[in-house]
Amino acid sequence: MPGIKPFRCIKFYPLILLTCIIIIQGCAGQVNILPALEESTPINDQEGIVVARIINASGNPLPFNQLTINPENLNESKSIKPERLLAAKPKLNGTTVFASYVKPGNYSLSSIRAFYANGNGWYSRFVSANEKLGTFSVNQGEVTDLGTLIYYPKPQGDRYLDLLIRAPESEKGEVLTKYFPFLKYNPEVLNGWHVDENDEERESTYISIAQNPVTYNEQYVSPANSIYFLGKIGVFIKRTSEGEWELDAVDTNHELTAIAQNKNGDLVVGGSEGALFWRPAFGDWLDISLEHNSHVEHLRMLDTGEIEILVARDFELDILRGAVSGSDIQWRLINRYSTNSSKRWDYRLEAEIKNKQAHSKKIDRHIYNTTLFELNGQNYINIRNHSIYENTIFATINSEIFIYNPDNWMIERSVNDFEFSAIIDAGAVQLGIEKAGFWSLSGKPTYHKIDQNGAQNKITTYIQSCPDNKSPKNSCRKKSFTFRSVPWFSNENDAIAIVSFALNSFSGGTRDTEVKILTTTDGGESWVATENEPPTDYCTSIVPQIADRLLVSCDGANGDFYESTDFGANWHQVRQQDNF
């Protein structure tokens, strides 16, 4: 886009689906499974309703989809079992909601769990609740609202301490109103956690968590050359052009996924559940959030003061523009994409595309996510979607790519043979990425360097390993590696990459990895190992927008940042998380 250019932080998670990764705790026969309430669920006057929201503030993309509570008299009889609530349609946005009928009684929270099964494999992750979280009651015919729970992995050396906390109380009944509007209840009789003496400690922990994000969703370079790193629960970090670090936040517990600033200094930030906040230069934040079923995909701040927003709502992607006036904003619809329309876009598609799509069958598909990128002077949007009949976690994702005019969002044409899932900046060059599937056995994306003329060259993922300098060339062998983050190019030919090599055990299975810094002088056609290493094995996410030094973040580990002015020979910690 002209003016402000967005940067997307591409992160690749290791394979987590194994035949038997972990001993499954709490088999189905040992708990009572409680499905999420739907509009068709029969009314149960004999029980109460428990409602909760869980926000995942870690770098693991799989949301928690089970919540287990223990009755007060659990140990009195073998027939008394924990109650396990199932989430309502979990998505990959870090947030899950729960609402189920539960037998009356006094309860405590036992654990939250992310459990996903596909074929012969499964993934399971438990987080136990601390007794200081509190207790609550479920009354016949009444609603117990547990509010928002936040999972945060607190770094402790090379390990994590799993923290599950209660967020400060927001509007009671919020989750019910937004996600379960068909439920009828008396708002004057809405139960919650029992009052205890731990409120002050819980609030202090919440503030510490908010101020110490461990992972970032997005990177963005402003017109003033500041870099913003968007985190969870409404927090983001700013690195100024002078190298200073600042922490900022907006009043939401939802993750932030998009940010933009204009030359005047006006700033807008948004994310999941319609979270959207605007701040004029030298002013205060103003909440201009959208409906909860909206997801802010991308933002742009025009120098006129207008905000441009791409917002997804299940089947539709709206491109909106508006200007803040006082505490109000009126949005204008610029264009709209719909998976339920044979035309896809509302108007001005190429004639032949209209004719082709007019004869296609109507298919109900949800929008999964979108990517914007620029290549050879043209602007592209990649809209990924999946069938509504598939589980989001295991869905087959389809892509539709269009070339558009960024000034008026008119769609020029569709692109049916585009080979990349994303185009990203890697310092002085762009890289095209063929992204591996989420459940891919290799989990490795393929990189292609794109030069100024549009030519593409595949970047190799191996080095030549020779026993010693005197050995003949035919004794060398290829030693494969995996990129730990996007390579950093200082020009079209010279680049640095942080990679990992698998170390094999005697039995042939992968035992461990070795993390190294490699260099190339031929644009990634060949790589050479250096003696340099990253500051730690988990601080390996290169920030490619910095040109005069190598900056890495410990994204997903502890949120620290390190920089090097000698290509990784020496490192200096420039931002450190608090030890709370």
Residue 342 CA to residue 360 CA, distance in Å, equals: 7
Give the pLDDT of residue 347.
54
Tell me which of 325 and 236 has the higher pLDDT: 236
313-337 per-position pLDDT tens digit = 988 999 999 998 877 888 999 999 9
- 44 close to 101: Cβ distance less than 8 angstroms: yes
Residue 170 CA to residue 252 CA, distance in Å, equals: 10
The pLDDT confidence band at residue 393, using thresholds 50, 70 and 90, is confident
Residue 457 CA to residue 548 CA, distance in Å, equals: 25
Quote the tokens at residue 92. Answer: 């990959």
Spell out the residues 6+ positions from residue 399 whose beta carbon is closer than 8 angstroms to its own. Answer: 382, 383, 384, 418, 421
Spell out the residues 6+ positions from residue 242 whose beta carbon is closer than 8 angstroms to its own. Answer: none
- 375 close to 430: Cβ distance less than 8 angstroms: yes
The pLDDT confidence band at residue 217, using thresholds 50, 70 and 90, is confident
Q: Please report, rounded to a whole number, the percentage of residues in the chain having pLDDT higher than 90.
A: 52
Q: Is the pLDDT of residue 299 over 90?
A: yes
Which three-class secondary structure state does DSSP give residue 416?
coil
Is 188 exposed, middle or buried, given 0-12, 13-18 or 19+ CB atoms closer than 10 A?
A: exposed
Residue 218 CA to residue 484 CA, distance in Å, equals: 17
38-96 per-position pLDDT tens digit = 999 999 999 999 999 999 999 888 899 999 999 998 888 888 999 999 999 877 767 89
Residue 73 CA to residue 76 CA, distance in Å, equals: 6
Residue 234 CA to residue 213 CA, distance in Å, equals: 10
pTM: 0.86
Q: Is the pLDDT of residue 510 over 60?
A: no
448-477 per-position pLDDT tens digit = 998 766 678 889 999 987 766 555 556 678
Q: Which amino acid is at 504?
A: N
Q: Which residues share a beta bridge with 430?
A: 425, 450
514-537 per-position pLDDT tens digit = 999 999 999 999 999 999 999 998
Specify the DSSP element, H or E, that contains 256: strand 256-261
The pLDDT confidence band at residue 425, using thresholds 50, 70 and 90, is confident
- 383 close to 337: Cβ distance less than 8 angstroms: yes
In the chain, what is the straight-line distance between the N-terminal and C-terminal CA atoms, in Å?
A: 41
For domain 28-210, give the fold.
Answer: Immunoglobulin-like (2.60.40)
- 84 close to 24: Cβ distance less than 8 angstroms: no
Residue ranges of alpha helices (H) inside 158-301 are 174-179, 199-210
**Alpha-carbon torsion, ordered 163, 164, 170, 175, to 10 deg:** 140
If one counts every other C-beta atom within 10 angstroms of the C-beta of residue 130, the result is 12
